[in-house]
């Protein structure tokens, strides 16, 4: 019997190892490239192992009981009057309670430590990026650099990134799996997200929320470079002949499939706030009147 149990355990461990270790590049959540992603991976693994404490004994007992108490096994002890065991009773109550307690603590503590609105502490000054979800593209505005790009995100390694997110249409979900923490982008609302990449590389960004016909192709390229390479990239974008004003924004915000690739050398001041306020009723009207007054004065 012990041999059978050992074989079952060995098989389960082998299958788990194969699933976890083969094709790590495909399991992006288990190949993090930033502190947030690494913490979330540890949280997933710890939670998974704790739950296996309950799952594995269930599988073992299912096989063991089937073999031990089968009709053809006449050598097993028959105890029809046995109906209670204090040890078993304590075990089946205390173990789940202990697991749930640990999981509850992990969930409570990680809720604060992984708060997406909480800035990441670093010696380097954070980069601000405004994210606008379009149908079905992503617009990234760099307010400090006064540039914007579509479907391409670029920032240096080791530097915290502070995102402001909104949507110009339906609700979407902004997610870079290897950096962690997805965040919803909603029309008329502004959400926040703070991330950091530990090393340079090219990563995949995606929309995790069903948002219409072009949802399946709503991906964007994330390029993490050195600080020097990032500055060179900014200079390259500034060489573009295209400017992101209100009229140009209306053009790119029209539903488009296949992924746009556009660089803007300059951005109209207050464009992100204007996009947010468009869906905010009287606040949107007030902001539009203010924008019109500024135009008339120019």
The answer to whether 264 touches 240, Cβ cutoff 8 Å, is yes
The reply to whether 122 falls in a domain is no
Shared domain check, 94 and 159: no
**φ, ψ at 97 (rounded to 5°):** -65, -40
pLDDT of residue 168: 92
Q: What is the pTM of this model?
A: 0.78
Shared domain check, 293 and 171: yes
User: Is 93 a residue whose pLDDT tops 80?
Assistant: yes
The reply to whether 20 falls in a domain is yes
Total domains in the fold of the chain: 2
pLDDT of residue 24: 45
The reply to whether 29 falls in a domain is yes
The residue among 160, 136, 142 whose CA lies nearest residue 236 is: 142
- Between 79 and 1, the more confident residue is 79
Average pLDDT, the chain: 85
Shared domain check, 139 and 104: no
The reply to whether 49 falls in a domain is yes
Q: Which segments of the chain does DSSP mark as H helices, in order?
A: 2-21, 35-68, 86-113, 227-238, 246-252, 271-277, 282-297
Rounded Cα distance, 99 and 111, in Å: 18
The residue among 116, 130, 208, 222 whose CA lies nearest residue 167 is: 130
Shared domain check, 105 and 230: no
Residue 47 domain boundaries: 2-70+87-113
Shared domain check, 59 and 32: yes
User: Is 287 a residue whose pLDDT tops 70?
Assistant: no
The reply to whether 33 falls in a domain is yes
Shared domain check, 136 and 100: no
- Between 59 and 238, the more confident residue is 238
152-156 and 127-133 beta bridge pairing? unpaired
Mean pLDDT of 8-37: 65
Residue 114 burial by CB count (10 A; 0-12/13-18/19+): exposed, middle or buried?
middle
Shared domain check, 152 and 49: no
The reply to whether 119 falls in a domain is no
Shared domain check, 155 and 94: no
Please report, for the domain that includes residue 182, its CATH number: 2.60.40.420
Shared domain check, 276 and 135: yes
| Token reading at 66 | 């089937």
Cα–Cα separations (whole angstroms), residue 154 to 27, 31, 61, 94: 23, 20, 53, 50
Shared domain check, 135 and 40: no
Shared domain check, 93 and 46: yes
pLDDT of residue 210: 84
**Predicted confidence (pLDDT) per residue in 117-163, tens digit:** 999 998 999 999 999 999 889 999 999 999 999 999 999 999 999 99
Shared domain check, 200 and 108: no
The reply to whether 109 falls in a domain is yes
User: Is 22 a residue whose pLDDT tops 50?
Assistant: no
User: Is 242 a residue whose pLDDT tops 50?
Assistant: yes
């Amino acid at each position: 019997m012990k041999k059978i149990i050992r074989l079952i355990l060995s098989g389960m461990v082998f299958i788990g190892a194969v699933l976890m270790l083969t094709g790590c590049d495909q399991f992006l959540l288990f190949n993090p490239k930033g502190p947030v992603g690494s913490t979330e991976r540890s949280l997933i693994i710890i939670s998974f192992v704790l739950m296996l404490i309950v799952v594995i004994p269930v599988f073992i007992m299912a096989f063991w009981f089937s073999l031990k108490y089968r009709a053809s096994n006449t050598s097993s002890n028959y105890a029809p009057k046995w109906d209670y065991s204090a040890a078993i009773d304590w075990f089946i109550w205390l173990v789940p309670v202990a697991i749930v307690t640990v999981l509850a603590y992990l969930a409570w503590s990680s809720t604060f430590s992984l708060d997406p609105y909480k800035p990441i502490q670093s010696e380097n000054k954070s980069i601000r990026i405004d994210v606008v979800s379009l149908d079905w593209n992503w617009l990234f505005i760099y307010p400090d650099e006064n540039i914007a790009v579509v479907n391409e995100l670029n920032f240096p390694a080791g530097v915290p990134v502070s995102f402001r997110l909104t949507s110009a249409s339906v609700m979407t979900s902004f997610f870079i799996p290897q950096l962690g923490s997805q965040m919803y982008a909603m029309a008329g609302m502004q959400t926040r997200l703070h991330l950091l990449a530990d090393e340079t590389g090219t990563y995949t960004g995606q929309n995790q929320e069903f948002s219409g016909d072009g949802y399946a192709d709503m991906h964007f390229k994330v390029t993490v470079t050195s600080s020097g390479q990032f500055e060179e990239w900014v200079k390259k974008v500034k060489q573009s002949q295209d400017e992101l004003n209100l009229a140009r924004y209306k053009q790119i915000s029209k539903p488009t499939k296949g992924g746009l690739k556009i660089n803007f050398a300059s951005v109209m001041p207050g464009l992100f706030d204007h996009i947010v306020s468009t869906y905010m009723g009287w606040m949107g009207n007030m902001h539009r009147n203010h924008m019109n007054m500024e135009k008339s004065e120019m």
